[in-house]
């Protein structure tokens, strides 16, 4: 391995009053050595945080602790374990409410993740409010999770989708809302931070424009809540969907924030269990919010793990996290710009901690494989954004996505590995023997 590359403009490796090296010790998996396809074991450089974040020890302990000492169903039992499980579950809901600054805990619906949260709105709100000829306004850079549910409900109801264009750096011009608006638009549904470009959408501005026309707005917050202080009242959004596993919590934990007045007018998404108030053979009545949307036995342990993860992030300080990650992303873009032949797709400067790039004559999957041989975990593919890839004229990109536990030294290791990619993938040198 080549020697360390000088970190000329590397950010200070501190998050508030904690050093990043100290923070990294909270994450057991970061101590792993990895050997892609049987190569030399190397320290893991985990740069796939947009797909899922790693978990601090406190979250791992919260999950095992629930099953070890509390495990019981919620809202149904009068025994001690049931009451303790219910208290832990509802305390988790209050933690999410406070973290997002929702007005009431009733506006926090637990789901399995962003995808289920958006499907809930599409099928419940969409089936109630959309009619033939109505329109849903999206952007060209939406994740499939904020596209496919709207395709399904639009096909069912005879509605249509319209798309706000983005420029090659992933920027959305708010004035495009006026140019693409019609009196048939019934909902605006947009990503807050692009999972391909790392750009941040002015969702507050879009919310003001949509509300001035009497139209609600849904925000896909999967990539924003882990990195930015998100306040649903300040943003003015009507719905916000997030995934726990992208914010250092467990998989299977997610949240739909919905403005209470809208949730009240929406029918249940699924039937059975907790969502009922009373049942007769031929009819039923529904429970209060948010339980109307939480059918069946919830993943209580995942909710407890999410509560712990949000508490961990709050203790670090969300502004501290934002500042450090922005500085690290700027350093990463600067270093990647030095790699011969590498093209960054998205903002060259000022973008968030998600960076996509390609080499013009190398397939992204091959590039990611070489990185893995050197212990660097990056993502290659269309990133569940195939319409955007077609607009860019690309089959795929390599994507590195940063978290607060990443370091400038890891960026240097990424650049060192990329410098070797062309040599390894040169004609006649492909395969494990080239490592």
Residue 280: strand, helix, or coil: strand
Task: Report DSSP letters for 371-392, one per residue.
Answer: HHHTTEE-EEE-TT-HHHHHHH
Q: What is the dihedral of CA 177, 178, 180, 184, to 10 degrees?
A: 100
Strand partners, 187: 136
Residues 6+ apart with CB under 8 A from 418: 336, 339, 342, 367, 371
Task: Report DSSP letters for 307-364, one per residue.
Answer: HHHHHHHHHH-HHHHHHHHHHHHHHHHHHHTTSTT-EEES-SSS--SEEEEEBTTB-H
Strand partners, 189: 218
Q: Using alpha carbons, select from 108, 101, 103, 72 the residue that is nearest to residue 87.
A: 72
Angle among Cα 230, 50, 357 to the nearest 5 degrees reads 120
Catalytic residue among 342, 384, 415, 417: 384
Active-site residue, 384 included: yes
Q: Using alpha carbons, select from 313, 201, 318, 304 the residue that is nearest to residue 250.
A: 304
Strand partners, 371: none
Tokens read off for 223: 């990539």
Q: For 156, left (φ over 0), alpha (ψ -120 to 50), or beta?
A: alpha
Cα–Cα distance between 79 and 22 in angstroms, integer? 41
Catalytic residues: 384
């Amino acid at each position: 391995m080549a020697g360390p590359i000088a970190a000329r403009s590397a950010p200070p490796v501190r998050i508030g009053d904690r050093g990043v090296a100290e923070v990294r010790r909270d994450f057991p998996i970061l101590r792993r050595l990895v050997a892609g396809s049987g190569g030399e074991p190397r320290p893991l450089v985990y740069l796939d945080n947009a797909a899922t974040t790693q978990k601090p020890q406190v979250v791992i302990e919260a999950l095992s602790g629930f099953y070890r000492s509390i495990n019981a169903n919620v809202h149904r039992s009068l025994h001690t374990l049931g009451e303790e499980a219910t208290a832990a579950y509802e305390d988790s809901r209050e933690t999410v409410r406070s973290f997002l600054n929702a007005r009431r805990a009733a506006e926090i619906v637990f789901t399995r993740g962003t995808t289920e949260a958006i499907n809930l709105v599409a099928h419940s709100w969409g089936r109630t409010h959309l009619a033939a000829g109505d329109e849903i306004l999206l952007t060209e850079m939406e994740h499939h999770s904020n596209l496919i549910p709207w395709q399904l409900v639009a096909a069912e109801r005879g509605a249509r989708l319209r798309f706000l264009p983005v420029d090659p750096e992933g920027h959305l011009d708010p004035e495009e809302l006026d140019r693409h608006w019609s009196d048939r638009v019934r909902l605006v549904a947009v990503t807050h931070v692009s999972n391909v470009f790392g750009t941040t959408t002015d969702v507050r501005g879009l919310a003001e424009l949509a509300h001035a026309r009497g139209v609600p707005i849904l925000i896909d917050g999967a990539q924003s809540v882990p990195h930015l202080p998100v306040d649903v009242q300040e943003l003015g959004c009507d719905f916000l969907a997030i995934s726990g596993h992208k914010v250092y919590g467990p998989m299977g934990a997610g949240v739909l924030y919905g403005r209470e007045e809208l949730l009240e007018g929406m029918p249940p998404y699924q039937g059975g269990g907790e969502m009922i108030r009373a049942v007769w053979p031929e009819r039923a009545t529904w429970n209060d919010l948010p339980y109307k949307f939480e059918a069946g036995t919830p993943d209580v342990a995942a909710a407890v793990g999410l509560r712990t993860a949000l508490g961990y992030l709050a203790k670090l300080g969300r502004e501290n996290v934002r500042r450090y990650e922005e500085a690290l992303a700027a350093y990463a873009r600067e270093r990647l710009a030095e790699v011969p032949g590498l093209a960054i797709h998205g903002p060259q400067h000022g973008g968030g901690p998600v960076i996509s790039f390609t080499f013009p004559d190398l397939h992204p999957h091959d590039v990611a494989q070489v990185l893995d041989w050197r212990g660097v975990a990056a993502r290659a593919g269309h990133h569940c954004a195939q319409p955007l890839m077609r607009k860019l004229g690309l089959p795929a990109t390599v994507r590195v996505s940063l978290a607060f536990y990443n370091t400038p030294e890891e960026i240097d290791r990424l650049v060192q590995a990329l410098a070797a990619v062309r040599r390894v993938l040169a004609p006649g040198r492909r395969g494990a023997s080239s490592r």
